[in-house]
Amino acid sequence: MSETQKKTKAPISLKLQLGLIVSLFYLVIVAAGMYIIYYSSTTTYLTAKNDMISRDLNIITGNYINENVISWLTEYWKAHPDEIRKEKTKEEMDMAADTYLYGLEKDETKALLDSLTPEEQLAVAKDMYGMLYSGLSAEVTESSYGSIFIVDITEENRGFIYCEAGEIEDGSYRWDYDLENHPAAKKFLDGEADDIEFELSDDARFGKSKYYIGCKPLIVNGKVTALICLGYNWDAFYNDLTSNMRTMAVLTLLGMLVMLLLTLVIVNNIVTKPLGVLKDAALDFAENKDSKRVTGQIDSVRSRNEIGVLAGGFNDLVVEIDDHIKRIKEAEDEIRDLSNNILLALVQTIDAKDKYTKGHSKRVALYSRMIADRMGFDKDQRNKIHRMGLLHDIGKIGIPDEIINKPSKLTDEEYDIIKSHTTQGYSILSRIDSFPELAQAARWHHERLDGTGYPDGLKGDEVPLEVRIISVADSYDTMTSNRSYRKFLPQEVARSEIEKYAGTQFDPAVAKAMLEIIDEDKDYRLHE
């Protein structure tokens, strides 16, 4: 974007643009969701059906079940199943009307019924059956139930249906209703329920239809002996529901698809495409560091919102970053050269102190790098270990020359002075805060894995792995370098010493890597 464009065209708020788009899309989604939930929520439907079925079961129990009479009637109906279903004669209607059972206590009711003649008992039983059947039939018709029936669940009479109304071709009594295949009733048989239960299951009496079934226990003489069961045709409801849901789903999906496509087109033109250009330009610049190429890409962004402003600012930033990178690279090259020269000067100073071990620090650094490479260290880690190897003996600068170069055996006092090069080196290098590993290598490269080294008697993992690498490389070069009192040792001797002290003086993994390097050095080139 040019400076002229920025000055003459006021930016349009990206926040406002996206806010309008997201709000529109959100309103459509919410409206569609509410529409689907409102018309197709089976959970809401089932809750309403549960309440309705519970209400109807309670109505049936309260209006048509006389608790004082039911215990007598259930026994009588099982003994006279055919008779009670026959139509009442006028005489039986009169006898039933003369036998008033309501308002009596339980014992009074039983005494009255037992005192009746067989004809009067049959009349009363027919009357009660007729009232119950009419009541159940009215509930079936009013609430569109498939059936309502009362079934015995006692062990001796299990499956006997006292009364049944609904879509039943044969209304005669049956003794063989299979309660084991009735999931709601099965809960009562298994002692898992004591109140109204609901289940969705097949009902063999109506073919393959599924029925939403409710059961309420009928308590006779203090225990549940029968169940009042009713079923609502679930398949009929479900087929109608799914048909409506499919129509609504298709219309909703079409509407959402149109809105989604429209939203994607708008968002792509306003946001996605310009941001994609900026992303590609940023990745291109990160990879190629070519500010001219990136500037050409950014100029294609024509947005007059915050993205356009961002593109212009990014373009300026890229040019400035490119200039800084060039200057930083130049400074890095100068610093790297200076650092390398300083390191080499320090190494030469160290080696100049000991005429017998000239080149020792460089070789330790080389062997350390080789071990690190063998152990899978990355380039930066290998470079760090190389620096540690170069400066591990810097403390020898503070050791008198006459002790370092003494050709004869050192006294105990002189040996203690030699050993102090570790702490003197640490004192020198600990001031370099950016490279703390240099001071660690100087102080601990004579520590041993078993804790018998110096100066701190560290053991095991207390010594950093990089320092353990320096320790093996240092010991190897000491054995393979010429001394005032001996020539460098044969390769097999140096190898056997490292192998022998792996696990006590040396880290086993580091020693293993060094042994592999030695075994590959067939011509014994790795020595002074």
CATH code of residue 50: 3.30.450.20
266 and 363 belong to one structural domain = no
Q: Which of 281, 297, 313 is the last residue of a domain?
A: 297
Q: Are 148 and 230 in contact (CB under 8 A)?
A: yes
- In this prediction, residue 507 carries a pLDDT of 96
Which domain does 161 fall in, by range?
42-238
Same domain, 387 and 509: yes
pLDDT at 6: 44
CA distance from start to end of the chain:
66
* Domains of the chain: total: 3
Say whether both 15 and 127 belong to one domain: no
Nearest Cα to Cα of residue 418 among 406, 428, 436: 406
The two tokens of residue 438 are 């240099």
One domain for residues 47 and 188: yes
Together in a domain, 387 and 282? no
φ and ψ at residue 304, rounded to 5 degrees: -105, 20
Residue 471 lies in a domain: yes
Residue 393 sits at the vertex; the CA angle it makes with 392 and 395, to the nearest 5 degrees, is 115
Do 147 and 135 share a structural domain? yes
Contact status, residue 488 vs residue 479, Cβ threshold 8 Å? yes
- CATH number of the domain at 461, please: 1.10.3210.10
Domain co-membership, 106 together with 215: yes
Instruction: Give the pLDDT confidence score for residue 84 in this predicted structure.
Output: 85
Are 163 and 286 part of one and the same domain? no
CA angle 233, 158, 229 (to 5 degrees): 25
Q: Is 312 inside a domain boundary?
A: no
3-class SS of residue 130: helix
CA–CA separation, 479 and 491 (whole Å): 9
Q: Is 31 a domain residue?
A: yes
Look at residue 345 and tell me if it is in a domain: no
Mention every residue, 6+ apart, whose C-beta is less than 8 A from residue 166: 136, 137, 140, 145, 146, 147, 148, 149, 231
Q: Residue-wise pLDDT tens for the chain (528 aa)?
A: 444 444 445 555 555 665 677 667 656 675 666 566 555 556 677 677 788 888 888 888 877 777 777 778 888 888 888 888 888 899 989 998 888 777 777 778 888 888 889 999 899 888 888 888 888 888 888 888 888 888 888 888 888 888 888 866 554 556 677 777 788 888 888 888 888 888 877 765 555 567 778 888 888 777 888 888 888 777 776 676 667 666 766 666 676 666 666 766 666 666 666 666 666 666 666 666 666 666 766 666 656 666 656 656 666 666 666 666 666 666 555 555 545 666 666 777 776 666 656 788 899 999 999 999 999 999 999 999 999 999 999 988 888 888 887 878 889 999 999 999 999 999 988 888 878 899 999 999 999 999 999 999 999 999 999 999 999 999 999 999 887 667 889 999 999 999 999 999 999 999 999 999 999 999 999 987
Residue 181 lies in a domain: yes
The residue type of 131 is M
Report DSSP letters for 220-286, one per residue: ETTEEEEEEEEEEEHHHHHHHHHHHHHHHHHHHHHHHHHHHHHHHHHHIIIIIHHHHHHHHHHHHHH
**Per-residue model confidence (pLDDT) at position 277:** 65
Q: Residue 442 has what pLDDT?
A: 93
What's the pLDDT at 458?
96
Residues 88, 14, single domain; the answer is no
Distance between CA atoms of residues 189 and 224, nearest Å:
10
Q: Measured between alpha carbons, how far is 106 from 67 in angstroms, rounded to an integer? A: 8
Cα–Cα distance, 489 to 479 (Å, whole number): 6
pLDDT, residue 384, reads 92
Residues 58 and 27 in one domain: no
Residue 270 lies in a domain: yes
pLDDT score for 7: 45
- For residue 4, what pLDDT is reported? 42
Q: Give the integer Cα–Cα distance in Å for 262 and 338.
A: 62
If asked whether residues 373 and 390 sit together in one domain, one would say yes
Does 494 lie in the same domain as 379?
yes
